Amino acid sequence: MEYKLGLIGYPLGHSLSPWIHHEFLREAGLSGSYEKFEIAPGESFEDRISGFIESDIRGFNITVPYKETIIPFLDRIDDKAEKMGAVNTVLIEDGKLTGFNTDGSGYVRSLETAYPDLIANRDQKKVLLIGAGGAARGIYYALAATGYQMIDIANRTLTSAEKISQLTSEARTEVLSLAEAERNLDQYDIIIQTTSVGMEPESEISPIRPTKLKQDVIASDIVYKPLETKFLHDAASLGARVHHGHTMLLYQAQLAFEIWTGHKVPCEELAMQLKKILE
């Protein structure tokens, strides 16, 4: 089988996904391709989707700004993606489209691959999520579904954090202001920075400034440009174990590739290569 895969979004300038999926195809010994399909504002989204169904594409990823736009065009949507209200992966089988969301579960897989000691004690770990946008939503839901039972959310806008906390009753959650979270940072075993603060070109800022951290804390940032955000830098200087954003990108891709091809390609080697590219 020839796996024709791709990415829909706009703009797609320097997406790393084609590189990642070509590496996966090569690793899995499969033939195929992964192309970028930009849909510019003003173009008919519906026409482009019909075009994909008529061609023999196996599936595609969807990124900004179409993760919600795609939903009415799907024949089926998996529970997680439905709960998220956002789809990042579509599988096409016999002309029928099924939507998935691998962002949150990809994040959890990346975290637990880096720190497997978490797996046996998920229910005892106190997690702080910083931010309450689309990324935080996916991560919160996936953490709760995996067995993390204490997940607080700190955000500039409290109402968005409260909405996320209502997604599931599987975790106990307190909603905090950023200032409150900063004061209580040493209570947490895992601190996950999900806001866009810290992305280029303002890489010197951080939504939270750590001053005191719990021993063995894991500080995680989903931003991968720059790889070493101000938040990670500050946390590392206080002794935190760090978890970089590029691995989320890889593991959400790994899960999508599994949906399309049934192959689970190991990512450890690729994570090191990608880190070098981004450093």
Q: Which of 67, 126, 163, 264 is flagged as catalytic? A: 67
User: Smallest gap, in angstroms, from Cβ of residue 251 to ligand ATR?
Assistant: 17
CB 105 within 8 A of CB 255: yes
What residues numbered 206-265 form the site for ligand ATR, per CB under 6 A? 207
CB-nearer residue toward ligand ATR: 55 or 196:
196
From the list 149, 112, 188, the residue with the least C-alpha distance to 208 is: 188
The DSSP bridge partners found for residue 91 are 59, 98
User: Is 67 noted as a catalytic residue in this protein?
Assistant: yes
CB-nearer residue toward ligand ATR: 9 or 134:
134
63 phi and psi, to 5 degrees?
-125, -170
Residue 103 marked ligand-binding: yes
Number of residues that bind ligand ATR (CB under 6 A): 15
From the list 254, 239, 275, the residue with the least C-alpha distance to 28 is: 254
- Closest-by-Cβ residue to ligand ATR is 133
CB-nearer residue toward ligand ATR: 101 or 261:
101
And the tokens for 162? Answer: 């409260």
User: Smallest gap, in angstroms, from Cβ of residue 205 to ligand ATR?
Assistant: 8
The DSSP bridge partners found for residue 8 are 37, 62
From the list 12, 9, 104, the residue with the least C-alpha distance to 65 is: 9
From residue 102 to residue 131, the character string flagging contacts with ligand ATR as x (rule: CB under 6 A) and all else as - is: -----------------------------x
Residue 138 within binding range of ligand ATR, rule CB under 6 A? no
Residue 156 within binding range of ligand ATR, rule CB under 6 A? yes
User: Smallest gap, in angstroms, from Cβ of residue 206 to ligand ATR?
Assistant: 9
From the list 253, 257, 263, the residue with the least C-alpha distance to 271 is: 253
Q: Where are the strands (E) in the chain, listed by range?
A: 2-9, 31-38, 59-62, 76-77, 89-93, 96-100, 126-130, 150-154, 175-176, 190-193, 218-221, 241-243
Residue 17 marked ligand-binding: yes
CB-nearer residue toward ligand ATR: 77 or 86:
86
Site stretch for ligand ATR (CB under 6 A), options 27-35, 71-79, 91-99, 189-197: 189-197
- The residue from 84, 135, 175, 235 that contacts ligand ATR (CB under 6 A) is 135
Residue 6 marked ligand-binding: no
Nearest-angstrom CA–CA distance, 221 and 154: 14
Q: Which residues contact 211 (CB under 8 A, 6 or more apart)?
A: 182, 185, 238
Residue 61 marked ligand-binding: no
Residue 101 within binding range of ligand ATR, rule CB under 6 A? no
The interaxial angle of helices 17-28 and 246-261, nearest 10 deg, is 50
> For binding to ligand ATR (CB under 6 A), which residues are involved?
131-136, 155-157, 160, 194-197, 207
Binding residues for shikimate: 15-17, 63, 88, 103, 224, 252
Supply the residues annotated as catalytic. Answer: 67
